[in-house]
């Protein structure tokens, strides 16, 4: 699998599928490029999906707090493209996809976004959600404050995990995820403070390419507010809710996510395999 400098950062990527449409997939925090295997398999007859590991994830370089992580991730994504592509993103990766569309519109043919965690949108539009959101994230934030990364990880996964819970994970996975908590904190300036200026500058309203916003029916309430706020700003946008899915839908329900993407793009998706 290839590895090289992309956007000035050591980047690992892989290519899945062999279809005529070029796509770039950007995973969620704590995952890696292989998380897209199920979605790519379902779309692979019609798309060639390039997926890369974000900074500090998978086999890409370690994150050393040099720069702003969403900006670095966006530069990596742009450098992996040599022409317009369908961009698929999940969670933090979906916010990177939005920033890519805002800063490199010539490289983006469409956006398929599963639960972009651009909290600034929801908290700007619906500030009454802040108290409940802070309560949800209290264990995570307390763990960060006391440098108890295992507690931070437990609290983070309670809100944003796949429902299995911290205690269900094997020991090595718990150790890895706890060590990655600083990556979550590194993204806060982009997600909560709009470090990329997408909200404050009106850049979202200038993203005119077709956009699909997906969410799980069992996801945290703030996700619905984020997607509602994005849909109000993006000129060409449609929304979809996936029954039974939570925040980890692209991994836990890849066929359902792939079908939404395929229907949006007007291409067939495999029903199994």
pLDDT per position in the chain (273 positions), as tens? 799 999 999 999 999 999 999 999 999 999 999 999 999 999 988 999 999 999 999 999 999 988 999 999 999 999 999 999 999 999 999 999 999 999 999 999 999 999 999 999 999 999 999 999 999 999 999 999 999 999 999 999 999 987 777 888 899 999 999 999 999 999 999 999 999 999 999 999 999 999 999 999 999 999 999 999 999 999 999 999 999 999 999 999 999 999 999 999 999 877 654
Q: How far is CA 162 from the centre of its chain?
A: 15
For residues 249 and 256, the answer to whether their CB atoms sit within 8 Å is: yes
Q: pLDDT digits over 73-95, tens only?
A: 999 999 999 999 999 999 999 99
Strands 211-216 and 47-52, how do they pair?
A: unpaired
List the beta bridge partners of residue 110.
Answer: 86
Q: What are phi and psi of 202, to 5 degrees?
A: 80, 15
CB 6 within 8 A of CB 26: no
Strand partners, 211: 111, 237
Taking the C-alpha atoms of residue 87 and residue 111, their distance in angstroms, rounded to an integer, is 5
**138 in Cβ contact with 154 (< 8 Å):** no
Q: For residues 51 and 60, give the distance between their C-alpha atoms in angstroms, rounded to a whole number.
A: 12
Read off the pLDDT of residues 39-55 as tens digits, 9 standing for 90 and up: 999 998 899 999 999 99
Domain edges within the chain: 3-126+194-265
Q: How far, CA to CA in Å, does 54 sit from each of 19, 67, 72?
A: 24, 14, 9
- Looking at residue 29, what DSSP letter applies? T
User: Rounded to an integer, what distance in angstroms lies between the CA atom of residue 258 and that of residue 39?
Assistant: 5
Neighbour tally for 18: CB within 10 Å: 11
- Distance (Å, whole) CA 17 – CA 40: 6
Residues 89, 112 contacting (CB under 8 angstroms): yes
The first and second tokens of residue 144, run together, are 């960060």
pLDDT of residue 273: 43
Give the predicted TM-score (pTM) of the model: 0.96
Q: Cβ distance 60 to 51 under 8 Å? A: no
Helices (H), the chain: 37-43, 69-79, 92-103, 119-125, 130-136, 138-145, 149-160, 171-179, 181-186, 188-193, 221-233, 249-252, 254-265
> Tokens representing 54?
């974000």
From CA 88, how far away is CA 63, in angstroms rounded? Answer: 23
Structure tokens at 92: 């933090």
Superfamily of domain 3-126+194-265 in CATH is: Alpha/Beta hydrolase fold, catalytic domain (3.40.50.1820)
Q: The dihedral of CA 71, 251, 162, 266: what is its sign?
A: positive
């Amino acid at each position: 699998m290839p590895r090289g400098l992309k956007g000035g950062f050591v980047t690992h990527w892989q290519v899945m599928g062999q279809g005529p449409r070029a796509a770039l997939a950007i995973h969620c925090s704590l995952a890696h490029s292989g998380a897209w295997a199920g979605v790519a398999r379902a779309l692979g007859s019609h798309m060639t999906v390039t997926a890369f590991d974000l900074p500090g994830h998978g086999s890409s370089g370690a994150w050393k707090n040099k720069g702003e992580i969403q900006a670095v991730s966006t530069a990596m994504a742009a450098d992996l493209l040599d022409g317009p592509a369908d961009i698929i993103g999940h969670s933090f990766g979906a916010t990177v996809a939005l920033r890519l569309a805002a800063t490199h519109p010539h490289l983006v043919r469409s956006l398929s976004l599963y639960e972009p965690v651009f909290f600034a949108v929801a908290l700007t539009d619906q500030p009454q959600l802040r108290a409940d959101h802070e309560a949800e994230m209290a264990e995570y934030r307390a763990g960060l404050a006391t440098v108890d990364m295992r507690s931070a990880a437990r609290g983070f996964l309670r809100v944003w995990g796949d429902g299995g819970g911290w205690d269900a994970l094997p020991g090595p996975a718990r150790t890895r995820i706890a060590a990655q908590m600083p990556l979550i904190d590194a993204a806060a300036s982009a997600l909560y403070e709009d470090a990329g200026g997408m909200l404050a500058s009106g850049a979202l309203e200038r993203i005119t390419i077709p956009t699909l916003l997906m969410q799980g029916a069992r996801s945290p309430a703030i996700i619905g507010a984020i997607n509602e706020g994005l849909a109000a700003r993006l000129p060409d946008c449609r929304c979809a809710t996936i029954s039974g899915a939570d925040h980890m839908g692209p991994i836990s329900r890849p066929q359902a996510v792939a079908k939404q993407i395929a229907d949006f793009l007007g291409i067939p998706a495999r029903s199994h395999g």
